[in-house]
Amino acid sequence: MLNQKLLSNFAIANDAIAQNKFRSFLTALGIVFGVAAVIAMISIGNGAKANILKQLELIGTNNIIIQSIPPESKDAEENAEENSSNNASDRKAYSPGLNLLDVTAIRNVVPNIKHISVEVSKNTNILKGKNLTKAICKGVNNEFFKILNIELKSGHLFAPLQLNQGSNVCIVGSGIAKKLFLGKNPIGETIKCGNVVLTIIGVIKSKNLPSENFEKLNIESTSNQVFIPINTFFLRMEDRSYVSKEDIKRGNRTTKLKNYHQLDKIYVKVNDVKQIKSITTLINRILQRRHNERKDYTIEVPELLIKQQESTQETLNLVLSIIAGISLLVGGIGIMNIMLSSVLERTKEIGIRRSLGAQKKDVTQQFLIEAVLISLIGGIIGIGIGVAASYIIGRYANIDILLSPWSMVISFVISFLVGVIFGFVPAQRAAELDPIKAIRV
């Protein structure tokens, strides 16, 4: 009996909506835009979080990156002008560049360091038989792979003896292995890197990440790289610290300057992210003293940059949430207004239903169902528009979008609650009408 009454009230509510389709659609517009905004907001927020996790996967956590500034770069020219105006003597103008002694000083002085690694790179050609490809050859130590969360697909890292003696061994990226060996196991095979013959002892596991993530953090993909022990690089490839002062001519600004930095980058991983700012300040002081106040390096903390990006994204999400909330509030008020008007228009209908035996709860149920149906229809349309809008925003704004089934469930529930909350007052008012007075209207 109860189910029959509910079905009957549902049918009456549905007929009422069908008879006023255009008005019902306009009433639901506030819900449509509100739900669409909710879907877009959650999608953008999820995409931003996923992107942040991918970026952290690239750089690792709690890392500090010290990068040399080559003399030919614009940053070096600006720093040179600043130093020439600030420094009073030629002694202060001289800098040994970023080198292994800087690494030793940082390791000995700075507390709470978990790992410290070096990097020096050179563009070169890689040859295997008749197969030739361009690549980047990098001199590193084993801590480099730990700091940047680089995993091996096969093989092993450098042995201590290989690192110390500068053995002719290498670890290659997945792209190099694929191009030169065409699916065969490259472990134990030899390749020619420039003029140096190297034996492959490991292959890096590929990371299926968009190239934009590498570009944002100024990090190169390992796919097209060859890694060799740092001492091997200095012995077999290049050691810029051995270049003479006369050859460099750093003090002569009319001559094109050569890169005098022994290292391109130093990576420092700290134990606790809370100490990362103080450690960065300490490292900067050490390098300033060692480089005679020449700012021929930069220090970056990628995790802090990412957190700033995350904070900006949270602000955007908050703005979107407010917009969505206002849209839903306006939509709910619109439903209430239309339902109150509907009660006035259908006073006679309500009186007839009451005189034929309908109880107050039946009338309440009828108008409440009608309000909920309008809200749910708006919610369903809003979900469709929100999904479409998310893809459009992601494509044309070039940002990551991640749709979640839960966002659709949440939107559907919100639509239902809006219909119940804002439909209750009109439903109650309809139920309280005197049937005798209502029929006479």
Tell me the mean pLDDT in the region 366-379: 84
pLDDT the model gives residue 255? 46
Residue 107 to residues 101, 161, 261, 266, 270, Cα–Cα distance (Å): 10, 21, 19, 11, 11
pLDDT the model gives residue 91? 45
Q: Does 233 share its domain with 313? A: no
Tell me the mean pLDDT in the region 284-288: 93
Q: Does 21 share its domain with 145? A: no
For residue 224, what is the DSSP state? Answer: G
Q: Does 282 share its domain with 375? A: no
Q: Does 234 share its domain with 347? A: no
What range defines the domain where residue 412 resides?
2-54+308-440
Count of domains for the chain: 2
Q: Does 68 share its domain with 50? A: no
Tell me the mean pLDDT in the region 88-102: 72
Q: What is the pLDDT of residues 341-367, one digit of tens each?
A: 777 777 777 777 777 777 777 777 777
The alpha carbon of residue 369 and the mean position of all alpha carbons in its chain are separated, in whole angstroms, by 43
Give the percent of the chain with pLDDT over 70.
79
Is pTM beyond 0.75? Reply is no
Mean of per-residue pLDDT scores for the chain: 79
Q: Does 400 share its domain with 297? A: no
Q: Does 363 share its domain with 429? A: yes
Q: What is the pLDDT of residues 225-275, one digit of tens each?
A: 999 999 999 999 888 877 555 554 544 444 456 788 999 999 999 888 778
Torsion of CA 402, 405, 407, 413, to 10 degrees: 170
DSSP 226-291: EEEEHHHIIIII--GGGS-HHHH-TT-TTSPPPP--S-SEEEEEES-GGGHHHHHHHHHHHHHHHT
Least confident of 155-159, 191-195, 359-363: 359-363
Comparing 145 with 215, which gets the higher pLDDT?
Answer: 145
Tell me the mean pLDDT in the region 48-68: 74
Q: Does 373 share its domain with 249? A: no
pLDDT the model gives residue 331? 79
pLDDT the model gives residue 190? 93
Q: Does 268 share its domain with 156? A: yes
Identify the domain boundary among 255, 283, 302: 302
Q: Does 366 share its domain with 390? A: yes
Q: Does 262 share its domain with 123? A: yes
Q: Give the integer Cα–Cα distance in Å for 241 and 259.
A: 9
Q: Give the integer Cα–Cα distance in Å for 272 and 266.
A: 18
Identify the domain boundary among 302, 320, 341: 302
Identify the domain boundary among 239, 272, 302: 302
8 A C-beta contact, residue 170 and residue 158? no
Q: Does 142 share its domain with 282? A: yes
pLDDT the model gives residue 216? 53
Residue type, 57: E
